[in-house]
Amino acid sequence: MNKTELIAAIADKAGIAKKDADKALAAFIETVTEELKAGGKVQLVGFGTFEVKERAARTGINPQTKAQIEIPASKAPVFKAGNTFKGEIK
């Protein structure tokens, strides 16, 4: 399912116009992104949690040259599914 299909499905299930569903989805994505940028997390009970995980700096190996390289620390957004959501997927 791509974004257009998701918007159509949301509009159909909620009984709203596709334009309104598009605005709602855009607002959701923007809100989650802003919260994660601010260092917070978004917890949707029964669905899951969006948060930022920190990756420590480490030494890696370039597979072509076999030379060691330093990989800097970074942050990555992650989603952890809730138990109710996991149960529905089984």
Q: How far apart are CA 79 and CA 47, in angstroms?
A: 10
Of 62, 80, 84, whose CA–CA distance to 71 is shortest? 62
Mind listing the pLDDT tens digit for each residue in 6-56? 999 999 999 999 999 999 999 999 999 999 999 999 999 999 999 999 999
Q: What's residue 90's pLDDT?
A: 79
Supply 14's token pair: 């909620």
Prediction pTM value: 0.80
For residue range 57-80, list pLDDT tens digits in order: 999 999 999 999 999 999 999 999
Label residue 52 exposed, middle or buried (CB < 10 Å: 0-12, 13-18, 19+): middle
Which residues is 58 bridged to in the sheet?
71
